[in-house]
Structure formats: C-alpha cells, structure tokens
Amino acid sequence: MIFLAFFGFSAFCDSGEQEEIGFLLFSPNRSDRFANENQAKNQLDDLAKNLREKTLVPGQILVYGYSAVAANRINSADLSRDRALFVKNELQKRGVSGNLFSDPVGHGEVDTWGRNTSEAARRPNRRVRVLLDVIVPPAPPAPIIASPVPDKVPDKVITVNEKAAAPAVLATDSSSKFPWKILFLLLGIALLAAIIFLSSKAKKRPMDKVVDAPSAAGSSAVGDVNKINENTNIKRSKFMDLENVIRGIITSIPSGVYFDLHTVTEKLLQEHDDVYLMNVGQYTTAAHYHSKISSIITQDTDLVELIGQCYSKNIHDKYSECHLFKRK
C-alpha cells in the first residue's frame, strides 16, 4: 500500500527531490586517497560517463563530503570539504564540465552512521555522495489560435432550418493528451504485484545454514550485542542480500530473548557493513533505511514475534523509540 501511495503521489505531483548517483569511501584522515583505489576508479569512470550522457544545467550536480568522529587535530569540516572537492576534480578530469557542479559542501561529522567506536563503524562515515537536483521543466504555454474573420457579412439571414442543414464550424483543436499519469500508476501497480510475487517465492527458499540456538523460554532480558556475538557463526559468503543477512542475525539470537531494531542495525554495521552500504543508496535518509530493516524483521513471523515499542540507543548513540521483538 505504501508503494502504491508513492506511485500515485509521483504521478499527480511535481518532484523536488535530489537523486543520489554516486557514493565513494576515503581512507582515514585522507582527502586524496580512497579506501579502495581500484574500485573508486571504476566508480568514477562509470559516474563520469553517466553524467556526460545526461542533459544537465549549471549547478545541477551536488557533491557532499563527510568525515568520521575521530580523536585528532584535523578539522572535520575542512577534511570533508576537501574530499568533496577531490571527487569533483576527478570527475572534471574525466570530461564532466565544471560549470555543471554546485560548490562542494563539507558536512563534517554531521549525520554520522553508527557509534564510531570501532574502525568498522567509522568506515562508512568517510564518504562522499554525488547527487543530482531533480529539475522539472515548466510546461510550454498553449498556442493561441485566433478565430477566422469573414471577409464579408452575408446579406441573407439564415433561418433555423437552414442552420441545421449548414455544415458545422470547426472549433479549436482540443484533442486530449496521452494519459501518462494513469499509465505510470498502472505500471506501479504491476511492479508492486511482481515484488509481492517474488518475495513470496524467496521466502520459500531454504537458508544455506540455520544456526541452532539454545532454548531460553521465559527469558525477559533484552539480548545485548555481546551475547549475540557469542552465539553466532554467520559467514558473510552465505548471504548475498540484505534480507538473508538480517534473517541470519535473527537466527543467531537465542530463543526467548528480547531484542530491538537498534540491536540488528548495530550488528549489520559491525559484521556486514558491505551489505549495509550496498543498500543504503536506495533510501533518502537513515530513518527511512532503518524503517525498511524493521519491516524485514517483522516479516519473519516464523522466527520473531513483534512485542511492541521500546526506547533504546540508536546508531547515533542517542535514545529513540523503535520496535521490540522476541525470538521464538
């Protein structure tokens, strides 16, 4: 229903959003070296080719830089801006016109992901995002067609019967436009049906390996991250997508133990940051992304039971409300 509402809104409303088209990671305390040079080079080549093929206006390309929280004397705002400027220069070297960019922006330590207490948690914050301003051009004005003026006013007065027999006067062309909005809405409904069908098929596939967890029926304590670490032996190579990784994390939690969304999100950042980052570009905010993770957990009704709401620390090390679950 949320998916349908989104397509309906998109069909009948104008869009003023930003589209993220690139995401690169940097080495610690560096603004001129990527975490993976070969991977970044391929990303920049593909990104530059994509931008050169688009019809863009000046200032439409946005480049945002970020930094992790670290105990050193480096100014995080300057570091993040230098990273954004470095990515802009690399794209210009690959043929993207400089006037298409807005001024690079350094956000510093703002909007960090995770608690930044370990190297794995700090890694996704050393990032640069490349976005496009989605610009909707105004509709051209409708042409004004003047009615023809007769050269001479007829002397004869046309009676009612003669009017009925006279040929009809052609009106201004008012043919209706093609109903694109309705077509987009129908395509959205078809896509939603396909997603539901594929999801039901995916749930029937057996997992590669299910970790047996000791019974703890009746337990009322919330399972902390350390306890989950002691009971899990998940191998990254076994999971290729976000849903399977989340299911593996849930499987590793002992039966009867309570846990919440923040526990699963922290586990993703600690042990599966590659899967976490691979999917993050599909969502505009971290809250939107974490809401999707919560819905994935809720769907595993054979493994978990939704208890209600709880209040615990999130990846920003701040308390917030989220869903509380119980491992069956």
pLDDT band at 140 (very low <50, low <70, confident <90, very high): low
Q: Which domain holds residue 231?
A: 225-327
Confidence band for 53, pLDDT divided at 50, 70 and 90: very high
Q: 123 with 23, same domain?
A: yes
- Residue 239: what pLDDT? 40
Supply the CATH number for residue 44's domain: 3.30.1330.60
Q: What pLDDT is recorded for position 16?
A: 53
Q: Does residue 96 form part of some domain? A: yes
Whole-number pLDDT of residue 237: 41
Last residue of a domain, one of 133, 168, 195: 133
Q: How confident is the model at residue 139 (pLDDT cuts 50, 70, 90)?
A: low
Q: Would 29 be classed as within a structural domain?
A: yes
Tell me what percent of the residues of the chain surpass a pLDDT of 70. 69
* Position 11 in a domain: no
Would 64 be classed as within a structural domain?
Answer: yes
Q: Which has the minimum average pLDDT: 141-145, 166-170, 199-203?
A: 166-170
- Structural contact between residues 44 and 68, judged by C-beta atoms closer than 8 angstroms: no
- pTM higher than 0.85, yes or no? no
What CATH code is carried by the domain that includes residue 320? 1.10.10
**pLDDT value of residue 127:** 92
272: confidence class by pLDDT, cuts 50, 70, 90: confident
The proportion of the chain whose per-residue pLDDT surpasses 90, expressed as a percent, equals 35
What pLDDT score was predicted for residue 89?
A: 96
Give the model's pLDDT for residue 151: 54
Domain end position, chosen among 111, 133, 155: 133
Q: Which of 16-20, 31-35, 228-232, 268-272 has the lowest mean pLDDT?
A: 228-232
Of residues 2 and 21, which shows the higher confidence score?
21
Q: Is residue 166 included in any domain, yes or no?
A: no
Higher pLDDT, 165 or 185: 185
Residue 175 domain-assigned (yes or no)? no
Number of domains, the chain: 2
Mean pLDDT of the chain: 76
pLDDT at position 144, please?
58
Residue 3 has pLDDT above 90, yes or no: no
Residue 24 sits in the same domain as residue 127: yes
Specify the range with the lowest mean pLDDT, choosing from 25-34, 89-98, 295-304, 313-322: 313-322
Q: Average pLDDT, stretch 70-85?
A: 90
In a domain, 33, yes or no: yes
Domain boundary residue among 110, 133, 156?
Answer: 133
Whether 129 and 232 map to the same domain: the answer is no
Is residue 138 a part of any domain in this protein?
Answer: no
